[in-house]
Amino acid sequence: MAVLAGGETNPDVSLLYDINGIAKGAPNWADRAMEFIGEYGILFGLAVLMLCAWWSVRKSKDAPAGTAALLWSPLAAGIALLINVPIRGFVRRPRPFLDHQGLEVLVKGKTDFSFVSDHATLTMALGVGLFVANRKYGLIGIGLALLEGFCRVYMGVHYPTDVVGGLALGTAVTLLLAPLAMMLLTPLTRWVAGTRRAGWLVRAGSAGAGADSAVAVAPGVAGCERGVRAHDRDLAA
């Protein structure tokens, strides 16, 4: 355990050294891989996951609501990051490598404040937003967000509590504002689903306004069209 002045222990700092200590004992290629994963890889993975979820949600019974939830996911992440700006300015916690010696810092140039972690906030907001839209993809997204938090501590740029704070912030913003967001976004996605040119963005196989009703009455519509054509032929004769 990390020992503070007066003989007290700090589990946050102790866990930081324990996790970051893995980086010290790991080969260089493993550290470089973790650096890429923690900085860019997980964000790229979540983007791919969002595309997969969108493709799946388009085939669901309530595609507009699912698409609205997917739209809310990045919006929630952006709002959470904005909320984090005053939090960082108020707490003003330095990066751990500025106050503690012997850490293996894999990413240089981090000079902003440490609490809370932007990466943890962003990835968890995306993961929880995915869960609202599709549980299967959402669970994978939340797992990636947890891995992101581990990477930030492994890389020596955040305390564990920075990560916990980011995970909590991303979750809270996404879930607490979700009812209002869905109320605003779902009518928009339903309108898009009913358009001819953009309906496919919301509903698979949508080719025009009222895609659901079009599918239901398609046989009747076809019969009417055949009758009109037959009537026209009789008149021409």
* 54-92 per-position pLDDT tens digit: 999 998 888 999 999 999 999 999 999 999 999 999 999
DSSP codes of every residue in the chain: -EE-TTS-EEHHHHHHHHHHHHHHHS-HHHHHHHHHIIIIIHHHHHHHHHHHHHHHHTTSTTHHHHHHHHHHHHHHHHHHHHHHHHHHHHH-PPPHHHHSTT----S----S--SSPHHHHHHHHHHHHHHHH-HHHHHHHHHHHHHHHHHHHHTTSS-HHHHHHHHHHHHHHHHHHHHHHHHHHHHHHHHHHTSTTTGGGTSTT--SSSHHHHHHHHHHHHHHHHHHHHHHHHHH-
- State the number of CA atoms in the 13 A half-sphere of 228 facing the CB: 6
pLDDT in tens, 83-110: 999 999 999 999 998 888 888 888 887 8
pLDDT tens sequence across 163-211: 999 999 999 999 999 999 999 999 999 999 888 888 888 888 754 434 3
> Do residues 127 and 138 make contact, with C-beta atoms less than 8 angstroms apart?
yes
pTM above 0.75, yes or no: yes
**Residues in Cβ contact with 143 at an 8 Å cutoff, skipping those fewer than 6 apart:** 127
pLDDT-derived band at 50 (thresholds 50, 70, 90) equals very high
